[in-house]
Amino acid sequence: MGASILSATYRTEEVEKEIYLEDMTHELYETVYKHNLFCPFSPCPARMVFVAGNVRPSHFRKLQGEKHDSNCLFDLEEKLSTKGRSVGKGVLTSISQKHVKSVLKSAHDILDEKPKRTPGTKSKPPKPPVIYEVDPGKEPPGVATLRGPSEEEGIVEGNGREPNVYKRFVDNLTDQDVKATLCVMGEITHIDLQMEHANFTISRNGVSAKIVFEEAFVVNNPNDFTRFWYLKRYLDDNPRAKCGCVGEIRKSKDGTYFEIVPFNYYEFSFERKNINDIAIAYIRNDIERKSTRNRNNDE
């Protein structure tokens, strides 16, 4: 995918104004703004639609068949984000929280796999996880893609059959994986946390990619993003924590590394813990330490 489009220009003969994602609802779109939204990058004439969804956060995108102006920022972003394989029309399907948790559990089983042996026998190395191969230019079978399936405006995503979500070690990602939704596995080697965005570096065998949390993630998960500060504490205390992350695969703007883009707080975990588990543990620990200090002061 290209850059997240967080606003659109509402334009009629009488009025022109910018509409932001956080102010838009499906009902407002259908009753007020439908057919009159345009690319926010002036003077690009591309018509836009609002998509309310649960596969990825609610967002704006151009109407199918429309084209951004050649000088438009989003036209450039689209070209940069399609450096991988050529993808045909995808079938948009919903991935439930339960299914994501199952995928992440399986990923950590692989990350934690140890040689098993019967007493008195020599240990054997574990079998490597299956790495699925795909033919160039073809969709990996069963892989979810996060693209609009219809020319209709304002379509609500979801209601499809849940897809398989295949697992990849970060050093096994290829250009053929771009635009697919995969579970990427590795170790966290760096975290960059700001007030409104974050990214983690996930590595294995000297190969790294970035897990990217964009503004759209913050808009759709405002309460959960505040817990990232507890996550930073956890990763500082547990360097090279094993990580599984379900997200859309894309290339960086300069094409030098892969990015994994999750859209919900439950789509990534560290040492089998999600962000809520980690935040609760630190909150409880902070409360216990404060209570202990207060008791000691009273004594």
In a domain, 266, yes or no: yes
pLDDT, one tens digit per residue, over 130-176 is 444 444 444 444 333 333 333 333 333 344 456 788 999 999 999 99
pLDDT score for 162: 66
Tokens of 75: 């036209």
If asked whether residues 33 and 101 sit together in one domain, one would say no
Average pLDDT over residues 232-257: 92
Predicted pLDDT at 198: 83
Shared domain for 29 and 136, answered yes or no, is no
What's the pTM value of the predicted model, to 2 decimals? 0.56
Are residues 135 and 34 part of one domain? Answer: no
Q: Which of 81, 105, 121 is the last residue of a domain?
A: 81
Residues 126 and 171 grouped into a single domain: yes
The per-residue pLDDT of the chain, averaged, comes to 76
Say yes or no: 71 and 111 in one domain.
no
The CATH number covering residue 275 comes to 2.40.50.140
67 and 106 in a single domain? The answer is no
Q: Does residue 250 sit in the same domain as residue 102? A: yes
User: Domain total for the chain?
Assistant: 2
Most confidently predicted of 75-79, 149-153, 252-256, 274-278: 252-256
8 Å CB contact between 135 and 142? no
- Same domain (yes/no): 246, 101: yes
pLDDT of residue 123: 52
Asked if residue 282 has pLDDT above 80, the reply is yes
> Cα(173)–Cα(245) distance, rounded to whole angstroms?
13
pLDDT at 122 over 80: no
Residue 294: inside a domain, yes or no?
Answer: no
pLDDT at 269 exceeding the cut of 90:
yes
42 phi and psi, to 5 degrees?
A: -70, 140
pLDDT of residue 124: 55
Q: Which two tokens stand for residue 73?
A: 């920022």
For residue range 94-120, list pLDDT tens digits in order: 578 888 899 999 999 999 985 444 444
pLDDT tier for residue 209 given thresholds of 50, 70 and 90? very high
| Residues 90, 145: Cα–Cα separation, whole Å | 6
Q: In which band, very low, low, confident or very high, does the pLDDT at 291 lie, cut at 50, 70 and 90?
A: confident
**31 inside domain:** yes
Q: Does residue 291 fall inside a structural domain?
A: no
How large is the average pLDDT for residues 14-43? 87
User: Would 123 be classed as within a structural domain?
Assistant: yes
Q: How confident is the model at residue 189 (pLDDT cuts 50, 70, 90)?
A: very high
pLDDT over 80 (residue 80):
no
Question: Are residues 200 and 117 part of one domain?
Answer: yes
Q: Which domain holds residue 103?
A: 97-143+164-282
Domain annotation covers residue 86: no
Question: Among residues of the chain, what percentage have pLDDT more than 70?
Answer: 70
Say if residue 192's pLDDT is above 80: yes
Binned at pLDDT 50, 70 and 90, residue 256 comes out as: very high
Asked if residue 12 is part of any domain, the answer here is yes
Q: Contact, 48 vs 8, CB < 8 A? A: yes
Q: What is the mean pLDDT of residues 230-254?
A: 92
pLDDT, mean of residues 186-190 = 95
Q: Are residues 120 and 255 in the same domain?
A: yes
pLDDT score, position 141: 42
User: Please, which pLDDT band fits residue 67 given cuts at 50, 70 and 90?
Assistant: confident
Indicate if 117 and 62 belong to the same structural domain: no
In a domain, 88, yes or no: no
Same domain for 173 and 278, yes or no, is yes
